[in-house]
Amino acid sequence: MERISWHQYFMAQSHLLSLRSTCTRLMVGATIVRDKRIIAGGYNGSISGGTHCSEEGCYLVDDHCVRTIHAEVNAILQCARFGVATNGAEIYVTHFPCLNCCKAIIQAGIKKLYYAADYKNHPFAEQLFDEAGVEVEQVELEEMILDTQNQEKLAFTAQLLERLEKSGASEQEMKEMRDKANDLYVKQM
């Protein structure tokens, strides 16, 4: 089996962290890395011991939830709490950071940002990252790498489609089945 890349390894960690989110609007995870070692992780949610959005709903002010601490800030605060330096580190985030998280990332001395999905990318955040010399790169998670049997599943599906076609399925049926297979396999990557 081929090993996954470092980018995929750390991005997968961020996606795993996002599953702990208590935000009902968007689940986000962040992983801070230095020298190919994870030094902190965070997800968006309420303060420790506080009421969660998943329990009582979001507390919205100007269409922003003021109850939630963003994943990037939670990861940076984890470093601060335990005395772990962030200067020169990298951060992997499931979504492009908001403007406030952008400023926190810059102030923490993080030099590289990798994010999986665009999300309301603010032009001023992009400008600030550029001015601060923070490298920004989109690295989407290739979900198929998390499935250790993906090649076998793809081959089996291809065999089934081939048998279906040979058994006399109509062109329309075949198109529908191929489209469904593409939705299940190709679009995940």
Q: Give the residue numbers annotated as catalytic, written as ranges.
A: 72
Asked if residues 18 and 43 have their Cβ atoms less than 8 Å apart, the reply is yes
Q: What single string gives the DSSP state of each residue in 3-43? A: PPPHHHHHHHHHHHHHTT---SS---EEEEEETTEEEEEEE
Q: Which two tokens stand for residue 161?
A: 């489609």
How many helices (H) and strands (E) would you count in the chain?
7, 7
CA 147/CA 180 separation, integer angstroms: 19
Indicate the residue type of 128.
L
Q: Which two tokens stand for residue 141?
A: 């998670």
Asked if residues 65 and 53 have their Cβ atoms less than 8 Å apart, the reply is yes
